[in-house]
């Protein structure tokens, strides 16, 4: 195991961001409970072979502790009806309403006080108990074979192996969106989504650190890595994504609408990662190279499991021009590079602790890194002991 000063500090940051195992277990219990409800013969959805599954950061093991105590965890679920509903026979409105009725019945039966809320693509259910979650359930149906073939060919063209493309694209689906012009009509052009496939692609990048993951499995007395829940892998790529998301959250604390979205950070970090087993090496590689994976032409940040989709589509949408989203992304990346360089440079542990608190909202114990650095002190503002900001803050302008 590498024992560099920067590795110690980045590992301490990652450990502070990790949510307790009980939160993952609670999330799993909740989506399994919803899945059991949908499969019960008393639910309307049960006749359509429902499949309820986690997606997003809980699925990939990249959840971080909320920045503020009053914030809740986001638990994203897919709710796929695998038979009996198709684009040729039903509308998006039918599917979404059907899933909504079953979720409302679930809310009533579980005595959840907060009302079910309709979002554009999903239904939101707020839990208010000892561990606050808001659950977003996205209704979907399987994608047709012809479109799956096209997705597979597009992935291979973009550099994915035939095997990975085959495994990933079979999970593609069509989702509801009440902004779609044909939402209430029988139509073939539903929006494509493949959260399960994206998670498999992300895991393929995580597994570049194969020896480290095999060690994790051995320590957990598992026969192989895939026998462990993804969140137990605690791989360098997963931890890098967690660190980058927290750095972004703190930097855009006062302008959350303008921050780079998590799917962009996750995709670019995974693309840049090359299997480094030391966390500081992985973070250095990702911060150095992730900007190279932003294309000059559209799609700027292609979805790796649907290359025609642009995760950065709002960068060029006039409705979001006032948020300066592309400018904010590059400003964030420059700042993150500078802040990690300061951690690598080292210096006075007391100053470093202040820096980590300022940049990540994490209070490290100075004793835990005492003696870690022997290099020259970091240059600071003497009055406040805060590292000078670079570059200027365009994300804070009106």
Confidence of residue 139 (pLDDT cuts 50, 70, 90): very high
- What does the pLDDT average to over 362-366? 87
Please provide residue 78's backbone torsions phi and psi, each rounded to the nearest 5 degrees: -100, 140
Q: For 243-279, how does the pLDDT look when each residue is reduced to its tens digit (9 = 90+)?
A: 999 999 999 999 999 999 999 999 999 999 999 999 9
DSSP 182-229: TTTS--S-PEEE-HHHHHHHHHHHHTTSHHHHHHHHHHTT-SSGGGS-
pLDDT score at 246: 98
Q: How far apart are CA 393 and CA 328, in angstroms?
A: 9
pLDDT score at 385: 27
Of 280 and 128, which is predicted with more confidence? 280
pLDDT score at 377: 31
pLDDT at 390 over 80: no
- pTM: predicted TM-score of the whole model, two decimal places: 0.90
Q: For 7-61, how does the pLDDT look when each residue is reduced to its tens digit (9 = 90+)?
A: 889 999 999 999 999 999 999 999 999 999 999 999 999 999 999 999 999 999 9
Please provide residue 145's backbone torsions phi and psi, each rounded to the nearest 5 degrees: -60, -40
**Structure tokens belonging to residue 358:** 């300022």
pLDDT at 398 over 80: no
DSSP 343-395: HHH---HHHHHHHHHHHHS----HHHHTTS--SPPPP--TTT--PPP-S--GG
How far apart are the two ends of the chain, measured CA to CA in Å?
Answer: 46
**Structure tokens belonging to residue 367:** 């004793």
Pairing between strand 73-81 and 133-142? parallel
Tell me which residue of 140, 54, 40 sits closest to 98, measured CA to CA.
140
DSSP 52-68: EEEETHHHHT-----SS
């Amino acid at each position: 195991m590498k024992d560099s000063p920067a590795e110690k500090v980045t590992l301490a940051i990652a450990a502070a961001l990790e949510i307790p195992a009980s939160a993952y277990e609670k999330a799993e219990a909740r989506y399994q409970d919803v899945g059991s409800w949908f499969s019960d013969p008393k639910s309307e959805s049960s006749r359509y072979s429902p499949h309820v599954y986690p997606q997003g950061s809980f699925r990939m093991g990249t959840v971080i502790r909320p920045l503020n105590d009053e914030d809740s965890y986001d638990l994203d679920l897919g709710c796929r009806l695998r038979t009996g509903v198709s684009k040729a026979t039903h509308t998006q409105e039918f599917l979404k309403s059907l899933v909504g009725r079953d979720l409302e019945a679930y809310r009533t039966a579980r005595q959840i006080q907060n009302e079910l809320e309709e979002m554009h693509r999903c239904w939101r259910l707020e839990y208010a108990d000892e561990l606050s979650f808001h659950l977003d359930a996205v209704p979907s149906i399987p994608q047709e074979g012809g479109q799956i073939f096209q997705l597979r060919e597009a992935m291979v063209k973009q550099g994915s192996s035939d095997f990975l493309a085959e495994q990933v694209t079979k999970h593609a689906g069509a989702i509801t969106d009440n902004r779609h012009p044909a939402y209430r009509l029988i139509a073939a052009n539903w929006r494509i989504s493949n959260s399960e496939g994206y998670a498999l692609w992300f895991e393929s990048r995580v597994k570049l650190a194969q020896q480290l993951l095999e060690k994790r499995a051995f320590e957990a007395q598992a026969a192989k890595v895939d026998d462990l829940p993804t969140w137990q892998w605690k791989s360098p790529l997963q931890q890098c994504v967690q660190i980058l998301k927290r750095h972004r959250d703190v930097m855009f604390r006062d302008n959350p609408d303008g921050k780079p979205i998590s799917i962009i950070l996750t995709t670019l970090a995974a693309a840049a990662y090359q299997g480094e087993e030391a966390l500081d090496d992985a973070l250095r590689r990702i911060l150095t190279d992730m900007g190279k994976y932003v294309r000059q032409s559209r799609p700027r940040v292609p979805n790796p499991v649907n290359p025609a989709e642009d995760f950065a589509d709002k960068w060029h949408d006039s409705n979001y021009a006032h948020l300066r989203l592309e400018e904010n992304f590059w400003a964030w990346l420059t700042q993150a590079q500078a802040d990690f360089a300061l951690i690598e440079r080292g210096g006075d542990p007391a100053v470093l602790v202040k820096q980590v608190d300022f940049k990540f909202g994490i209070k490290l114990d100075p004793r835990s890194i005492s003696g870690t650095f022997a290099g020259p002190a970091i240059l600071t503002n003497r009055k406040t002991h805060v590292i000078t900001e670079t570059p200027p803050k365009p994300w804070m302008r009106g």
